[in-house]
Each structure stands twice: as structure tokens, then as C-alpha cells.
Amino acid sequence: MAEVIKTAAIWNEDEFTHLESRSTEIISAVQSGSTRQTLQGQTASTRTEAQQLLLNIIIGSISVKAYIVTKDERETGLRNLVNFGHTVGHAIEAVLTPTILHGECVSVGMVLEAEIARKLGVLGQVAVGRLTRCIKAYGLPTTVSDPRIAKLPAARQLTIKKLLDIMKIDKKNSGPQKKVVLLSRIGKTHEERATAVDDRVIATVLAEACKVVPGVPRNDPVRMATPGSKSISNRALVLAALGEGTCRLRNLLHSDDTQVMMAALNDLKGASFEWEDGGETLVVHGGRGSLTTPPKGKELYLGNAGTAARFLTTVCTLAHPSADATTQTTVITGNARMKQRPTGPLVEALLSNGSSISYLETPGCLPLAINEGFKGGHIQLAASVSSQYVSSILLCAPYASSAEGTVLELTGGQVISQPYIDMTVAMMATFGVTVTRRKNATGQLLDVYEIPKAVYRNPAAYNIESDASSATYPLAIAAITGTTCTIENIGSASLQGDAGFAKGVLEPMGCKVVQTETETTVTGPPRGQLRACGYVDMEPMTDAFLTASVLAAVATQPSLEERRVDGIAPNTTRILGIANQRVKECNRIRAMIDELAKFGVETKELDDGLEIYGKPIEELTENPSIHCYDDHRVAMAFSVLGTVVKGAVLEEKACVGKTWPNWWDDLENKIGLSVEGVELDKAPSGQVDRYSFPPYATILLTGMRGAGKSYIGKLAATVLGLEYIDADEFLAEKVGMGLSEYVKEKGWPAFRDAELEAVFELFRTKPCGAVISLGGGIVETPAAREALKSYRGPIVHVERDLEAIVKYLTEDTARPPYGDATIEEVFHRREPWYTEAATHQFYSYFRPDATEEEKAAASVALKAEIMRYFKHISGLQPNLAPNLAKVKRSYFLSLTYPDITPALPIMGDLTTGVDAVELRVDLLSPS
């Protein structure tokens, strides 16, 4: 298939359109097969429509190759075109053969060579996106980070230098240039031959990381448009797919997020898609809300696309069982981070409304198994974590089964990101459904929405605004470099809350801002003259807080008087209203604090945000390596700071593919700042050394309830002279009631949220000088496990015999029961999580059947062991063997005998000169 895609991409856009829009049919034809008995498909009379389509595609590919080879028998140039994807692909193949096939390597090569063309400015992102989607549709890899490639030991050899050296072997290449076939659009090449491309360009595209060369934008004043809004693109896709009729979506974002949304809607048979205008317009043929569960075994994989995950959770409740009734359930899942991001409030609201949804792994998170059933009527939804929950129900509410429509009541305090809810309501109106927001007697708007039962009517065309969150980056570059930038298609009339960034953040920082309904122009003050923001509430534009943070890092001039906060320095920016950013692609507040620290910038974490203390540009630390957490917003925000700080390396440049895949190219070609590729060491700076922590770092104890954490923690605190804190008692005091009572009243999800919030507070207020015993269930949520793994201090897993734990807990009624699960089931579920989170383990060896005399002796021994153990791990009194020294080698012997008896007579000889001996009892023969 790689060869077929290749010939269509270089020569025939119509053929390529068939490949991208009819991939399901083509794959089914490939998989249908033909046997000698049936001869299915071998003759016109036995050939299905899908098989005929496959045959036509293959014939078309052969015809292109035959024409090119015949036309250019002497290989004067035209024949080069069939090598599209091969210059890079062959180099990859040379390293990975025979494990990875030729076609798979060429697939990766085609995408990389398309990105080279895009970097050179001869190919647009629309074409790169179409090519990538098409290759993915046939199950082929598009990047060397594909799991099929990345897991191979040989993949470590895919260095830039090695790949360029392999390319040199090709007789067509010489010196610091390589011959590469460049596309100018789908179906057309830049030249009718391969083009000479500098090694520097190829290296930048191949590199996993990059850095921005500091300077003044060469294209000042900059005028540009950002890609289509991710938020609007995803809403438009759902609306048009659920709607009746055909809608042409223009300026749709071509990114990872919209790819997974389109793929999921296609798998649900909710709509059909085709491209017009060279991929600039997506034609959506709506399905009127008729969706079908995917084939058995087919999961909807959504990567780390939070918007798609939340929207599709409700969309999937509309999916009817397949015609043959083999599948009645739709499973949606994602990558490791997506499985940590919360969906609980949305799922709980749908469950309360009668939907049938099951958590397949961790409660409150993906993956989910979803059955048909969305009743509507009156729905209550907690909306204090994400507005996407609200939009998910709003978008699908017209198709609920209730004839009276749906009333959506938002609960749980202040609604987060109201502008995004307003965006959804406005877009629904454009597609023919009017949502009414209730008011009280005085005319004040309530958080109650009335949605009628209806069918969306697709407008003939819908133009998608440029992405306002993305617009903050080029505008911020103008602010930090003292230049001018105009962003088209984003102004005061925008549906997006982030469109207020220029007036709400940049103007108070000293920038000149001119904003019309449709465009925004920012001129920065002289370099180094930005004002601190003082207090700024960014709740209406939470995603833009990262951009504000990097500007605040160099904002040294006093903030405006009306924004200044009493008691804080005049160079302080205090950003609030962004608590939800802890549960985005990463914990963004923590990420900004940790990565700004690498520049030498001081910050302070707050419950609802952070403070940044501005520092002169010339005092910032140079050459930092910035971990991007696979988060597009982190990468693009720190690229802004990279325009004024020498050597700032952005470690994961590809993560911008989520919203602005060509950001690095636009930074160079449209803004005029050079971007260089960087080859990373094998251990990126984002990896935390969990065994290197500050002196007297607070010690955390984890383990099952009844394992002895409190007893051991108190003793450890006493011998170390530290404060002892019981996290359960701290939480009970914080919520003002007993924990059993809290769980009974609020439920387990609310308890886990409150527990994690209390732990974060302890992390902030007690970073050192304490021993904290954590609740046994702290490891139940992915967010809490990630918080523990990111903690820089000792985490001790206190273990105890299961029989002893069961006996103890059977007698304990003070704490909430485990519900339907037995103690044994909870123990086995949590055990791997405790191990994953811990840096150390401590075994509490009380036996439930021990005599009083044995218990007394064990208690004395345990106290001595606690003193030795905790003084060792805290560094107060390391318990190291006397022979261990930096200048002296030590020797270790592992005995792996199935029967140790024959070795006993020679044990003295075996262990001569050995400092430590290990006997592998797990390898001893049982007989």
C-alpha cells in the first residue's frame, strides 16, 4: 500500500482522494482474500465493488510507474519521482532491516520528506496532514516513534548523523546536500526531478528536539494567520456529522486531535467525509444522528485528545448496535496520559441519566465501555473541572430520547471556562438548534440550559476561526522582542475566550494593542521593558496562562497600580483561575514552575494558579533543556522564551502536532526566526532522578490500611526528630467531618479528589522536616500516582503480611469500608501501584498469631530496624558496608544453583574476595 500511496501522492490527486476517503472499502478488499476454491474477485463476475476499487487503484499505480520509467529511460530526472520517500526511507531501512519492512520505512520516509518540503515553504500543512492521515488509515507507521519501531533495540541507532551518512552512499547525493523528491501539493511535485536539499534542513526535520536562535524576527512587521481553532474544529466535526445535509468546513485544523475525531466518527459510521480544494475544504455528509457501534474488537483510540475523548463519551451513547448484533458496546481509550485525565463527572452525570457506561480500568478515567442510551430530560452535571463535559452533553442533547428535550443543570460551584460553553451554544444555533439559558426573576443568568429535541440542519458552508490560543505565541514573540505582529481571523468578535489575551494580558504588560472584530495587532515595548501583570484572572482563557507565564518571567518593570497586589513585589505576576490546568495534557502549573526554574526564574504555586517573579533577560540561565511533557502548549510557550535566551532546547518538538504541526516551520518562514534541530542524549532532562532529593526532604509512607504506617511513621519521626503527620487526620480536619461520613455523603470520587488536593497542600506546605503517613487508597487514581512519582523525596511502601492486614481491618470500623470489594481484592489491585510509586520498601513483620512474648521481642527488634532504616534512607546515618568507598571496587556474587548442597564444600573458594553474596532462592529446585 505504501507504493500505491506514493504514486498517487506524486502524480494523481484523484487517485489519492479515493485512497483517503475509501480506505475502509480498500482494506476490506485486501483482507477478503481469494482462494483456489472460490476464485473470489479473480473474474469480473465474482468481483465485489470494493475489490474492483482495489484493482483500479493498483492498476493506476502501475500505470504511473510504467509511464515515468518509459518516459525517462536514461534516468535524467523524471524517474527520480518514484523515489519519493526513499531518500530518508532507505536510510531508515538500512538500520531496521529485516524487522521493519521496506514499505513501512518508505511510509515514514514519505511523511518526513513531506515535512522537509513544508519546512522549505513549498508544501502546505494541509497536504502533509492528508498524507499522514492516509498512510495511518492503512495501518502503516508515519514516524520513527511508532511503537513498532521505537521498541526495537536497533531504533537507538537512528541518529541524525548515521542516517545522513547512509544517505551519502547513494550515488545521487554528494557533499552537504541530498536529493529529495519534494511535493508542492498532493498529486504534484515541486520539480520534475529530485531537489538538492541542505543537510541542515534534513537534520532539523529528523531531530527529536530543537532550539530557536535568539534574535529579532526578520519579517517584522509580521502578518499571519494561525491554523483553525482546535475547539471550533472539533465542535464543527461533531455538529456536521450529527446534522442533516452536506456541510463544507473551511479552515479546519489539520492536526492529531482532529484526525482522531474524524477517524472515530468514521468508525461509528456517523458521517462520510471527502476533501475539496486540494484539501483546504472538508465536505461532511451528515448522518442525522444515526451511528453504529464499531466491529467487535475495534476500539476508538484517541491518543491524548481530551476534547475528542469528552465529546465522544456522550456521542457514543447515541450509537445503535451493529446490524448483525455482534457488538452493542463502543470502547473508547487513549494513551497513558489520557487514561489519567478525568472524565468522572461527565460519566457520573450520564449514568445518573440512565446511560450504560463502564470503567474498564481506573474509575473516573478512560478506557470506557459505552452502550446505547441517552435519555435526556433533567441532567445534573458538576462543571467545576472542565467545560468540555458541558459541551459534550449540549452537543448531543438534541438527539436524546426524551420527547420533552433536555434540561442541563450545572452544579458544583463556579463553572470553569464559560466562554467555551458559550461557543458551543453559539455554534449549535448556527446548525439550527437554539439553546435557552434560564434567568432568575432579576434577569441574572443561571447555570441551567434548555435544549429542545431536534435534528441539526447543516449550513452549506462553515468557516472555522483561527485558533486564538495558538495566536498568543506569535503575539507574545512580538511582545518579548519589541516588534509588531498582526494575526488575521482573530479579533473582538471571536467565539474564543483566548482572543482576549492581547487586551487582557499584553496591553497591561506595556504592549500597544489594536484589535478590530477580525484581527489583532500587537507591538511590544523595547526589549527588556515588559511590565509585570500584577493580578490577572485567566479563568476565561486558561490555556493562554502558559504564554503569560513565560512573558512574566522577563517582566521586570512594576505592574500597573490598579493591578498590583498588596504585599507582593512590583515585579510579580499572580495568575489565578487556572486550577483546571493541572488535569490537561500534563499538570501544566507544575510544568511551568519546574521548567521556568531551569532559566533561574523563581515562582510560587498557589491553589488556583501561580506567581512568577520577573527577572532581567541577561540574568536568565542559558542553555536549559526543557522537557515538554508531550504537551503542545508547553513546547510553544517556551519557544517564545527561546527567542531571547541562548541555547534553550525544546526536547519534544513533534508534540506541537496537536494544534500547530507546522509551528517550527512558520516560526522560521513566516516570523523570521531560525530554528535548529538538536539530537538529544538518551536520558532527557525531563526524567526525574527519584533517588536524589534535598536533605531532610519529607518522607512519605504508603501502603494498605492496617500495614502499620502510623506506628512506623511515629517512631521514624521520633528517631529523626521530625514532625509526624497523618494525612487522613489532616483531610478529616480540612473537610470538617470523619472520612466515613464524607464518603457516605459525597461518594468515593469526591473523596479521592479531596484527598489528592490535601496531599498537594501537604507537598507545598511540608516539603521537608516531616514524616507523612498517606491514606491507603492514595494510589487508586492515576493523577495521584503521577503526583507520587513526581515527588522529590523518599516514598516508603510499608508492607505487611496479608493475613495480618485482614485480621486488623476486620476489627476496624472507624474508616470507610471498601464497598463490594474484599480486602484481598483491594490488596492485590493496589500492590503494583504501591511498588510503582515507591522509592523504598519497609516490611512490617508482626504476625497476627504471635504470642505476647513474641510480639514484645518483635517490637524491640522493629524499633531498632526503624531507627537503622530511616536514618539510612534520610541520609542522617547511612548504613553502608565499611568497604564501600569511591576509590575502591566492590564485588558481588549471585548463586543460582537449583540445589546448593553440592557447592557447600567449595563455598569458601567461591566467595574469596567477594563483598556480598546473593542466594537466588527463587531458582532453587522444589524437590
Annotated active-site residue in 304, 458, 489, 571: 304
Long-range contacts of 876-882 (CB under 8 A, 24+ apart): 876/720, 881/915, 881/916
Element (H, E) at 22: none
Q: Is 257 a catalytic residue?
A: yes
Distance CA 75, CA 608 (A): 65
Instruction: Take residue 754 and report the three cell numbers written for it.
Output: 479531596
Residue among 789, 784, 776, 527 nearest 643 (CA):
527
Distance CA 417, CA 385 (A): 9
Q: How far from the centroid of its chain's Cα atoms is residue 111's Cα?
A: 22
Q: Is 102 a catalytic residue?
A: no
Q: Is 543 a catalytic residue?
A: yes
Annotated active-site residue in 467, 543, 755, 780: 543
Q: Is 632 a catalytic residue?
A: yes
506-507-512-514 Cα dihedral, nearest 10 degrees: 90
Look up residue 162 and give its DSSP letter: H
3-state SS, 657-701, equals HHCCCCHHHHHHHHHCCCEEEECCCCCCCCCCCCCCCCCCECEEE
Which residues sit opposite 625 in a β-bridge?
Answer: 649
Residue among 610, 601, 663 nearest 636 (CA):
663
Residues 6 or more apart whose CB falls under 8 angstroms from that of 864 comprise none
Residues in the chain: 927
Helices (H), 362-520: 387-396, 418-430, 468-481, 501
Cα–Cα distances (Å) from 397 to 266, 431, 435, 745, in that order, read 21, 14, 10, 29
Cα–Cα distances (Å) from 887 to 247, 612, 879, 880, 917, in that order, read 74, 44, 18, 15, 21
Distance CA 788, CA 765 (A): 16
> For residues 276 and 248, is the Cβ–Cβ distance under 8 A?
yes
Annotated active-site residue in 20, 113, 208, 257: 257
Residue among 704, 668, 680, 686 nearest 843 (CA):
704
Instruction: Take residue 290 and report the three cell numbers written for it.
Output: 444515526
**DSSP line for 494-527:** -S-GGGGHIIIIITTTT-EEEE-SSEEEEEPPST
Residues 6 or more apart whose CB falls under 8 angstroms from that of 889 comprise none
Residues 6 or more apart whose CB falls under 8 angstroms from that of 595 comprise 624, 626, 627, 634, 638
Annotated active-site residue in 119, 582, 632, 653: 632
Annotated active-site residue in 254, 531, 584, 633: 633
Annotated active-site residue in 13, 348, 372, 585: 585
Look up residue 557 and give its DSSP letter: B
Among all chains, which residue has been given the C-alpha cell 493541572? 582
Q: Is 658 a catalytic residue?
A: yes
Annotated active-site residue in 582, 615, 658, 797: 658
> For residues 482 and 527, is the Cβ–Cβ distance under 8 A?
yes
Look up residue 539 and give its DSSP letter: G
Residues 6 or more apart whose CB falls under 8 angstroms from that of 63 comprise none
| C-beta atoms surrounding 872 within 10 Å | 14
Residue among 704, 366, 404, 416 nearest 540 (CA):
416
Cα–Cα distances (Å) from 323 to 24, 316, 328, in that order, read 17, 16, 10
Identity of the residue numbered 560: L
Residues recognised as catalytic: 257, 304, 543, 585, 632-633, 658
